[in-house]
Chains A and B, each alone.
Chain A
Amino acid sequence: QQQVKQSPQSLIVQKGGISIINCAYENTAFDYFPWYQQFPGKGPALLIAIRPDVSEKKEGRFTISFNKSAKQFSLHIMDSQPGDSATYFCAASISGGYQKVTFGTGTKLQVIP
């Protein structure tokens, strides 16, 4: 059962544009929603994360928007750069204890000059 659905599967954006990746979850017990960035040949690395008590979190050019009632969250990359080209994974988990992280299916982002 896929508990975190992610779209689109791939995304091509021009340099300077806005990249938007969307995720939806089913389990209302999830209380931590990270985004991971993965470059080819590397492991995923935490990019930014949000908890459901806030609707938005911004770190530099990266913003997470969170809609608790709709059980959706999204990553916005402003002023996208070629160096942002990577695969992005949304994820969800229940903090505390030893809960596993459930990952979305990934979005391959290509930023073209």
Chain B
Amino acid sequence: DTAVSQTPKYLVTQMGNDKSIKCEQNLGHDTMYWYKQDSKKFLKIMFSYNNKELIINETVPNRFSPKSPDKAHLNLHINSLELGDSAVYFCASSLPGATEAFFGQGTRLTVV
């Protein structure tokens, strides 16, 4: 009965590959997010979706493409992976306009 679940938890891939990370929430929230946490633990928002509609897109390279098939799912597809994409990616959700975000356990992406 995990609230926000991400798969996979670990992802190791070669430069140039395309990969996807999946996220699902069972909290009934309308708003979902992708955050990137770098090696220094800095958390930065990448995207925010509300009820399948893109709300926030923070100057993220267009190699990153989020997709929300329904309001309970927000997947992240990354094309042409680069070494600098190595990080932990967190999915989160909240009620619209609400303040508390519920985070998944993260996906540690390593590009070699």
Q: Which A residues have a C-beta under 8 Å from some C-beta of B?
A: 32, 34, 38, 41-46, 49, 87, 89, 93, 95-101, 103, 105-106, 108
Contact B100 A49 (CB under 8 A): yes
Contact A101 B101 (CB under 8 A): yes
Question: Contact partner of A96 among B31, B43, B97, CB < 8 A?
Answer: B97
Among B14-22, B73-81, B103-111, the one that faces the other chain is B103-111
| Nearest CB of B to A60, in Å | 18
Within 8 A of A (CB), among B28-57: 31, 33, 40-45, 48, 50, 55-56
Q: How far is the CA of A34 from the CA of B43 in the complex (A)?
A: 14
CB neighbours of B92 from chain A (8 A): 43
Contact A43 B100 (CB under 8 A): no
Q: Knowing A98-B50, A98-B96, A98-B97 are in contact, say whether A41-B31 is a contact too (CB < 8 A).
A: no
Contact A42 B97 (CB under 8 A): no
| Nearest CB of B to A6, in Å | 10
Q: How far is the CA of A45 from the CA of B50 in the complex (A)?
A: 21
Q: How far is the CA of A105 from the CA of B39 in the complex (A)?
A: 11
Q: How far is the CA of A101 from the CA of B90 in the complex (A)?
A: 14
Chain A residue at smallest Cβ distance from B41: A106
CB neighbours of B50 from chain A (8 A): 98
Q: Knowing A98-B56, A103-B43, A105-B40 are in contact, say whether A43-B90 is a contact too (CB < 8 A).
A: yes
Q: Knowing A41-B105, A106-B41 are in contact, say whether A95-B96 is a contact too (CB < 8 A).
A: no
Contact A100 B45 (CB under 8 A): yes
Q: How far is the CA of A45 from the CA of B106 in the complex (A)?
A: 12
Contact B41 A34 (CB under 8 A): no
Minimum-distance CB pairs A-B, first 7: A43-B103, A103-B43, A106-B41, A98-B55, A32-B99, A96-B97, A46-B100
CB neighbours of B40 from chain A (8 A): 105-106
B4 touches A (CB below 8 Å): yes
Q: Knowing A43-B92, A106-B42, A106-B43 are in contact, say whether A93-B99 is a contact too (CB < 8 A).
A: yes
